[in-house]
Amino acid sequence: MENLAYDPDLESAASTQDVAAMSALRPVPRISIQAFCETESVAGPIERAGEDRRMAKAHLKVHMGGVPTAIEFYHSAPTPNLVILESRSEPKALLASLRELSEVCDPSTKVVIIGHYNDVGLYRELIRSGISEYVVAPISMVDVVSVITSIFVDPDAEPIGRSIAFIGAKGGVGSSTIAHNVAWSMSTLFSSEVMVADLDLAFGTANINFDQDPAQGIAEAVFSPERIDEVYLDRLLAQCAERLSLLAAPSTLDRVYDFDSEAFSQLIDTAQRSAPLLVLDVPHIWSGWSKNTLMKADEIVITATPELANLRNTKNLIDMLAKLRPNDAAPKLILNQVGVPKRPEISAADFAEPLGVTPMAVIPFEPQLFGNAANNGRMLGEMDAKNPIVQTISEISHVLTGRSELKSKKKAGFGSLLDRLKLKK
C-alpha cells in the first residue's frame, strides 16, 4: 500500500469547498486580462486562477507594481478587456491614482480593484465611477475566477463581443479584403481576440486570404443551429494568428444556400459571448438574413469604389439603415480602389456630399500589394508593414474599436470615471 504520509504537492490542491464553488462557474471567453499586484498573496491566487481550465481561452498576465506600474505601462500599450489592480493605498490616494489611470485606459476596458480597506463608502464611490468590482484582500483563486465570471459570463452580463459588419456597395470593391485586414490588425495591435465569420458561404475568400483550409466551418453552424453553443463553435474555428480565429465558408457549390432571415442569429449571439470582437464579412446581397445581420450589428462598414453605381447603392444602404436603426450612428464609409489609371472617378468630396457621411478612409488602388497578399494568403501588414495602406488599416481599427475618433489619440476610459473624479478635484 502507498505511503499516505504528508505530501507537499497536495498542499496546493483545492479544498472540497473550492471545487464545489468552481464547478458552478462557466468558462471565461477569449478575453485579455492584465493584473498589477503589490503583494505575492494577491498575485498568487490570480496566477493560479489563470491555470484553471475555465480560464483556458483567456489571456492572463500578472505584473507586480500595482497602479503606478499600470499607469506607466498603459501610456504606451493598449488596455486589455480587463485590468485587475491591487492597491494598499488608503481610499483618497486610491481614487487619485485611478483618476490618473483613467486617462490612459480605453473606454471598453473593465477594471477590478483589490483593496486592503474594507470601506463601504469607497466601494460605492468606485462602483459609481464605473469600476466593475471592488474586492477586499485577502483573496482566493475562487474569488478571482468568480469575479471575472460575474463580469463576462453571467447570463445577465452584457455580451462581450462587439460586432462589426462589413459590406460592399457592389461586388468586388474590396469589402472582404478590408474586413480581413482590419480583423488581423485589431488582433495584433490591441492584443485582443478577434473572430472573423465569412457569411459568403458559396464564394467566401477568407479561407484563401488567411491561407486556411479547415474541414468544418460556418456551414456546420448554420445548418444545425440547435447544436450551437460556445463549445461547438470552438470546434468550427480555424486559428489564423495568435488571437485571430476564423469561421470559414465552405466556398463550394454542392448545395444551395437559401437561408431564412434568422439563420445566423444564434451563431452571431454565441460568437459575441465568446470573443470581444466579431468581424462579419457580409456578401453583397440584400436578403432577409443579410438585412437582419446588418440591422443587429454594433457597427457597419460600407466599402465603395468611386463610381456612380457605388454611390447610388451606398446612398440606398445608408438611407435604409437609417430607417432600420434610427438610434444608431450612420455606417462608416471606406472609399477603396481609388486612382485606377485612366478610370474617370468621382472625387471623395463629391461622393460624400449626397450621403452626408465623410469617408473614414480613402484607400488607393494598389494592385501589386493587394495581388501579392491575396496570392500568398498573407495580410497586407505581413507583406509590407510600412506601406501607408497598412497605416490606414490600423487607423480604421482604432476608430472601429472606439480607441480614437480620428487618428490614434486615446480617449479616457472606464465609463464616466474621469468626468466624475474630475468634478471632485
Ligand X SMILES: Nc1ncnc2c1ncn2[C@@H]1O[C@H](COP(=O)(O)OP(=O)(O)O)[C@@H](O)[C@H]1O
CB of 116 to ligand X, least distance (A): 54
Residue with Cβ nearer ligand X (224 or 252): 252
Select from ligand X, Mg ion, none the partner in contact with residue 172, using the beta carbon and a kind-dependent cut-off of 5 to 8 Å.
ligand X
> How far is 262 from 274, CA to CA, in rounded Å?
20
Residues contacting 205, CB < 8 A, separation 6+:
176, 177, 198, 251, 374
When binding is defined by CB under 6 A, the residue of 138, 354, 367, 388 that contacts ligand X is 367
Return the percent helix, strand and coil in the chain, to nearest 5: 45, 15, 40
246: exposed, middle or buried (Cβ count in 10 Å: 0-12, 13-18, 19+): buried
Residue 205 touching ligand X (CB under 6 A): yes
Binds ligand X (CB under 6 A): choice among 365, 378, 384, 416? 365
Q: How far apart are CB 168 and Mg ion at their closest, in Å?
A: 6
Q: What does residue 332 show for φ and ψ, rounded to 5 degrees?
A: -85, 145
- The item of ligand X, Mg ion, none sharing an interface with residue 45, based on CB under 5 to 8 Å by kind, is none
In degrees rounded to 5, what are phi and psi of residue 85? -125, 125
Is there a contact between 151 and 133 (Cβ–Cβ < 8 Å)? Answer: yes
164-203 binders of Mg ion (CB under 5 A): 176
Residue number of the CB closest to ligand X reads: 174
Q: Per-residue contact track with ligand X, 370 to 389, x per CB under 6 A?
A: x---x---------------
* Nearest residue (CB) to ligand X, 43 versus 383: 383
Which residue lies nearer to ligand X by CB, 96 or 383?
Answer: 383
Tell me which of 97, 181, 337, 401 binds ligand X, using CB under 6 A.
Answer: 337
Minimal distance, residue 290 CB to ligand X, in Å = 13
Residue carrying C-alpha cell 481599427: 397
C-alpha cell at 331: 455606417
Q: Concatenate the DSSP letters of all residues of 109-168 into one string.
A: -EEEEEES---HHHHHHHHHTT-SEEEESS--HHHHHHHHHHHHTSTTSPP-PEEEEEEE
174 binds, among Mg ion, ligand X, none (CB under 5 to 8 A by kind): ligand X
Angle at Cα 261 formed by Cα 258 and Cα 267, nearest 5°?
A: 95
| Smallest gap from residue 377 Cβ to ligand X (A) | 12
- To Mg ion, the closest distance from the beta carbon of 161 in angstroms equals 21
Of the candidates 161, 168, 413, 415, which one interacts with ligand X according to CB under 6 A? 168
**CA terminus-to-terminus distance, the chain:** 69
**Contact between 210 and ligand X per CB under 6 A:** no
Identify whether the C-beta of residue 392 lies closer than 8 Å to the C-beta of residue 361: yes
Assess 89 for contact with Mg ion (CB under 5 A): no
Residues that bind ligand X (rule: CB under 6 A) add up to a total of 17
Least distance to ligand X, CB of residue 258, Å: 20
97 binds Mg ion (CB under 5 A): no
Of residues 274, 273, 271, 216, the one with CA closest to residue 248: 216
173 scored as a contact of ligand X (CB under 6 A): yes
Report d(CA 95, CA 236) in Å as an integer.
Answer: 45
Q: Which does 36 bind (CB under 5 to 8 A by kind): Mg ion, ligand X, none?
A: none
Cα 210-211-216 angle, rounded to 5 deg: 90
Positions in the binding site for ligand X (CB under 6 A): 168, 171-177, 205, 336-337, 363, 365-367, 370, 374
Which residues make up the interface to Mg ion (CB under 5 A)? 176
